[in-house]
Amino acid sequence: MDLWLSPHDARVRTLRSEGELLCGVIRSPFGYCIAVTGGDYLLALRFVESREEGIVSLQSEWPKTPLRYSPEVERLIIRGFENPSLVPVLAIGTPFQLTIWEYLRRNRASMTLTYGELAKAIGRPKAARAVGRAVSANGIAFLIPCHRVISRGKLTGYRWGVERKRNLLAWELANRDPLVMPF
How many Å is the Cα radius of gyration of the chain? 16
Would you state the pLDDT for residue 108? 65
Burial of 71 (0-12, 13-18, 19+ CB in 10 A): exposed
Write the single-letter amino acid at 165.
Answer: K
Task: Return the CATH fold of 3-86.
Answer: Double Stranded RNA Binding Domain (3.30.160)
Catalytic entry in 127, 141, 146, 149:
146
Average pLDDT on 81-86 reads: 89
The pLDDT of residue 28 is above 80: yes
Angle at 46 between CA 12 and CA 168, to 5 degrees: 130
The correct answer on CATH 1.10.10.10 for the domain covering 95-175 is: yes
Residue 181: its pLDDT value, please? 59
Distance CA 54, CA 146 (A): 20
Exposure letters 41-52 (e unless 16+ CB within 10 A, then b): bbbbbbbbeeee
User: Would you say residue 133 has pLDDT above 70?
Assistant: yes
Residue 3: Cβ within 10 Å count: 17
Candidates 59, 47, 75, 57; CA nearest to 140 is: 47
d(C-alpha 119, C-alpha 84), whole Å:
23
Residue 97 has pLDDT above 80, yes or no: yes
Nearest-angstrom CA–CA distance, 18 and 181: 45
Q: Are 128 and 119 in contact (CB under 8 A)?
A: yes
Q: Is 154 left (phi over 0), alpha (psi -120 to 50) or beta?
A: beta
Q: Where in the chain is the domain with CATH 1.10.10.10?
A: 95-175
* 123 DSSP assignment: T
Verify whether residue 33 is a known catalytic residue: no
Which segments of the chain belong to CATH 3.30.160.70?
A: 3-86
Residues 48 and 181 sit within 8 Å (Cβ to Cβ): no
Total-model pTM? 0.88
The pLDDT value given to residue 180: 65
Closest Cα to residue 159, out of 57, 9, 52, 69? 57
> Are the beta carbons of 81 and 142 closer than 8 angstroms?
yes
The SS3 of residue 82 is helix
Which comes out higher in pLDDT, residue 14 or 151? Answer: 151
